[in-house]
Chain A
Amino acid sequence: MNPVLPDEAVEFAAAAGKAFADLGGVDAAREAEETPSLRATKVADVLRALGVDDLDPRADADTLAAAAALCEAAGRVALPYPVPSVLLRDRSGRPFAVVPDARCRVDHGDLFPTWRVATLDGRSTTATSTDHRLATRLGPFVSDLVAGTEAAASSSTDVAIDVAVHLTLTAWHILGTADRAVELAVEHVSDRIQFGKPLSAFQAVQFQLADAAVAVAGLRELALFTLWRLTVAPEAATADVLALRVHALDVARAVLRTTQQLHGASGVCDEYDISVLTRHVQPALRLPCSAERAAAELTAAIERDGFDGLFPHGSIAARSSAG
């Protein structure tokens, strides 16, 4: 039992964090909203310098851990780039995304001409981008791709693993955002004086911070555990990955709500990082589906495969016993 990221992954994340800070931190997201082309230039250059082109999270456990740590670092600053997707590019350099059943809606879909996409249940195809972006406050870089007619040339097992890794890396991105949101709230309530004392002196504030921090700590443990499951049993980790997705969404919703509230009116102002983080993480929370749909998929997966992981207590699968 050694539930920690390898040192190399931690060091890589620190280097990535510094590079993203040098890029301007959350300001890079603000600038990209004004000038979307910066994503393909400044942001892509930074990632290239970090060696992201040589990182394949499917290669081995250490590389998967490094990829996860990178996604967390990106989530901390709302890095305007589809990091999980480019990490899962194929040999032709096409990025990969998990998409909703109804349409090929992808964050930063306009950045690359062709994509590989798959639905949660593993139906895969290629897709091509258009210049159209939603360009909304909550989906500034979200694009609808045009699905191709040919299935992507990958085995169903490979696609399933790509889906699982994409969902997991996206959860790490969400973890980074949630973790940073708690830090921002701690900073704000420590500095903001009301009634003659810092907001942090109020127990109602302290308790909300504590609950948010515990929620993020729990999400981090589950994210680590899921990485390990993907390493030791990639083909049996469907329920584990969906559980991480559901939990990441549940935690992010609660933590972002709390931390925004603790910022007062500033929480909805883009001058404050919490507002930008909350807006820019929405595509990760809604694509390929929101928490309730993910929970329905999870329930089906547990009924089918169980949820024992390490800790067997006999068959947990409800429907399998029903015959």
Chain B
Amino acid sequence: MDFDLGEQAAALRARLRELIATHIAEDYLGAFTTDPADLDVAQRFCKTLADEGLLTIAWPTEYGGGGGSVWDQTVVREEMWAHHEPRGAQYMGLNWVGPAIMAFGTDEQKRQHLSAIAAGDVIWCQGFSEPDAGSDLANLSTRATPDGDGWRLNGQKIWTSYAGMAQWCVLAARVGSGTRHEGITMFLVPMDTPGITVRPIRSMLGAHHLNEVFFEDAWAGPDAVLGGIGEGWAVIRKALAHERVGIARYARCERLLSALGRELAPVWDQLPPALHSQWARALIQVRVARLLAYRTVRAQEVGETPDVMASAARIAVTQCDQQVAEVLFQALDDESLEAGVRAPLHGAVEDHWRYAQAATVASGTIEVQRMIVSKALLADRSGGRS
């Protein structure tokens, strides 16, 4: 039994922290603020990581990656999220769009897209959810209709993060008249295609996070299909498996709880004892969430498909995100309402609380995760009886 990630991971962590300390300001709160300069910081940092060979450290070498382990990937995820994801929107391309293209793409698609993602040049968005297809994604109704040698795309996507800044979209659309999983097909579509309109949705999360995307007779070429006609569900499953372990929310929680201890040190003894206990319990929850996430990574490492485990980890991680947000707010009391660099911890707590409110919804609601976990529990039981 060993929980040590090893010297290589420790060295990688140290190197990433050094780069972050050099290139990212202490009060940086991510790319998606009202200040466009923050997006520029993220784009520049991606180029820096690419130059250092760190942006795609976990990609296979044949695709220009570093051939790193799943643990290297884990360290990158943790350090980036702990420091307000200075890769901005590009994490999506790195975490799952690239790997999905490696798994399902044609040689031409790989040639066109993988090097661009690896160079830190491109932002992707994912066109999955629709007004009538949220948790029930298989109910999607965006259509792809044959037109000449290509396709006409019609429909509406919603909650699409970064659509306003993305150059490319992985779009899930239905070909033919099938229902549920039948006919679902993935398309790689440039966002500047005529017929695509993006409308930002005002939300408590901040700019760029949520958008509606409308497709009105937008044209996609024959080479836009990823993974074959009607084979989109397999791509989505792979994408979601990556995405569910993709955000190391616990890492930011841990950093903020640590920082809170230091920030409030002068008045620590005057805090209500109940708050001390909540703070300590929040640290435990963060540790538990991290360990459950590691269990999923370990399963990936040994070649298992950790669907149920990933859902369990996600339940713990997202609940932990919200629990920590509330503990931080309780500790800061009335100051919690302040935002911006003059607010406690440079506004990081206020930012975290707002963003945490969507944690149990984004990338598959906690209810869907509970359905997956309980189905497995009860299947074990019926398996035992048969």
Contacts and interface: CB of A to CB of B under 8 A. Distances in A.
A15 interface: no
Looking at A5, A218, A298, A309, the one whose CB has the most chain B CB atoms below 10 A away is A218
B315 A302 contact: no
A231 to B, nearest CB: 8
A211 interface: yes
Interface in B290-312: 290-292, 294-295, 298, 312
Looking at B5, B316, B378, the one whose CB has the most chain A CB atoms below 10 A away is B378
Chain A contact-residue range equals 35 or more
B268 A319 contact: yes
A303 B273 CA distance: 13
B1 A6 contact: yes
B264 A318 contact: yes
A227 interface: yes
Interface stretch (B88-96, B187-195, B355-363, B368-376): B368-376
Interface string B268-301: 1100010011011101100111111011001000
A225 interface: yes
B382 interface: yes
Contacts of A314: 258, 262
Interface in B2-18: 2-6
Contact of B291 (A190, A209, A211, A218): A218
B3 A228 contact: yes
B315 A214 contact: yes
Contact of B315 (A200, A210, A322): A210
Nearest to A315: B262
Interface in A268-323: 292, 295-296, 298-299, 302-303, 307, 309-311, 313-319, 321-322
A190 B261 contact: no
B3 to A, nearest CB: 5
A310 B265 contact: no
In terms of DSSP, what is the predominant structure of the interface of chain B?
Answer: helix
A23 interface: no
B258 A295 contact: no
Contact of B316 (A214, A231, A303): A214
A222 B374 contact: no
Interface string B80-106: 001000000000000000000000000
A224 B1 contact: yes
B254 A200 contact: no
A217 B293 CA distance: 11
B377 interface: yes
Interface stretch (A29-37, A51-59, A112-120, A243-251): A243-251
Interface in A123-156: none
B266 interface: yes
A205 to B, nearest CB: 8
Given A206-B378, A292-B277, A318-B265, A211 B254 contact: no
Nearest to A9: B1
A296 B279 CA distance: 11
A207 B370 contact: yes
A50 interface: no
A318 B268 contact: yes
Contacts of B258: 313-316
B316 to A, nearest CB: 5
B108 interface: no
Interface of A: 1-6, 61, 65, 182, 186-187, 190, 200, 203, 206-207, 209-211, 213-214, 217-219, 221-222, 224-225, 227-229, 231-232, 243, 246-247, 250, 292, 295-296, 298-299, 302-303, 307, 309-311, 313-319, 321-322
6 contacts: A203-B371, A210-B374, A292-B277, A295-B276, A299-B280, A314-B258
The 8 closest A-B pairs by CB, nearest first: A221-B291, A206-B374, A318-B261, A322-B265, A210-B370, A210-B373, A218-B288, A321-B265
Given A210-B370, A224-B3, A303-B268, 7 more contacts: A2-B298, A190-B381, A210-B373, A232-B4, A250-B281, A298-B280, A309-B287
